[in-house]
Amino acid sequence: MIGDAAVALVVVFVAELGDKTQLVALSLSARYRTAQILGALGVTILVLQTLSVAAGSLIGESIDPDVVGVVAGLMFVAFGVWSWREAVGDPSDAGGEERSAGTRGLVAVAVAFFVAELGDKTMLTTAGLAADRDAVGVWVGSTLAMFAATWIAVVAGVGLVRRIGRRRLQLGGAIVFVVIGAVTLLGAAL
C-alpha cells in the first residue's frame, strides 16, 4: 500500500503541474482568502479522487468525453467573463487582506474545478493506477498530490497578488480562462 501511495503521489503530482485546475486555484487567490480556497478545493479534491479511484473507469465509459469537453469549455469561458466583469467593476487593487469572505462564488468555483477535472489526465491517471494497484494506497497518494499541487498554485497566486495586484491578476486570469475555454470547446468540436 505504501509503495502504491508513493507511486500515485509522484505520478499524479507531475500530471497536475501546469494543469487548468491549477490555474483555477491560482486565480482564486486574488478573490478569496487562502483558507477558503484550500477548504473548498480540498473538499472537491477528496470527492474527485474518491470518484477517480472508485468509479474512474465507469465514468470514462459512460460519459462522452466531448460532452465533458463542451461543459468544461463553457464553464471556463463563463468563469473568465465573470472574473473580467468583477475585476473591471472593482477599481481597488488591494492585496490579500481585502479578499472576499463570500462563499457563493467558492461553490461555483468548486463545481467548475470538479467539471474541469472530469475526464482530465489526472483523473484518468488515478483511475488507471487504481485498476492494478491497491485502491486505498492510490487514493491516499493521488489525494496528497492534488492537495500539494493546489497549495502550490494558491501560494503562487498570493505572491502574484502582492507583486502585480489583485485586479491585474484577475484580468490576466480572465483572459486565460476564456482562452482555455475556447481551446477546450474547439477540441470537443473537432
From the list 18, 51, 54, the residue with the least C-alpha distance to 150 is 18
Q: Give pTM, 2 decimals.
A: 0.68
Question: Which pLDDT does position 140 carry in this prediction?
Answer: 94
Please write the tens of the pLDDT for every residue from 148-184: 988 888 888 888 878 887 778 778 777 877 887 788 7
What average pLDDT does this structure show over 9-34? 78
Residues facing residue 32 across a β-bridge: 100
141 pLDDT above the threshold of 90: yes
Q: Considering only CA atoms, give the Rg of the chain.
A: 17
Question: Which pLDDT does position 90 carry in this prediction?
Answer: 59
C-alpha angle 25-10-111 in degrees, rounded to nearest 5: 30
Question: Which pLDDT does position 91 carry in this prediction?
Answer: 57
Distance of CA 65 to CAs 119, 162, 181, Å?
A: 7, 38, 15
> How many Cα atoms are found within 13 Å in the side-chain-facing hemisphere of 133?
22
Q: Residue with C-alpha cell 502550490?
A: 152
Please write the tens of the pLDDT for every residue from 48-79: 888 888 755 455 456 676 776 777 678 778 87
Which helix (H) or strand (E) covers residue 137, if one does? helix 135-164
Residues in the chain: 190
Confidence at 98, pLDDT banded by 50, 70, 90: very low
Question: Which pLDDT does position 65 carry in this prediction?
Answer: 66
The count of other CB atoms within 10 Å of the CB of residue 48 is 24
Rounded to whole angstroms, the Cα distance separating 52 from 62 reads: 14
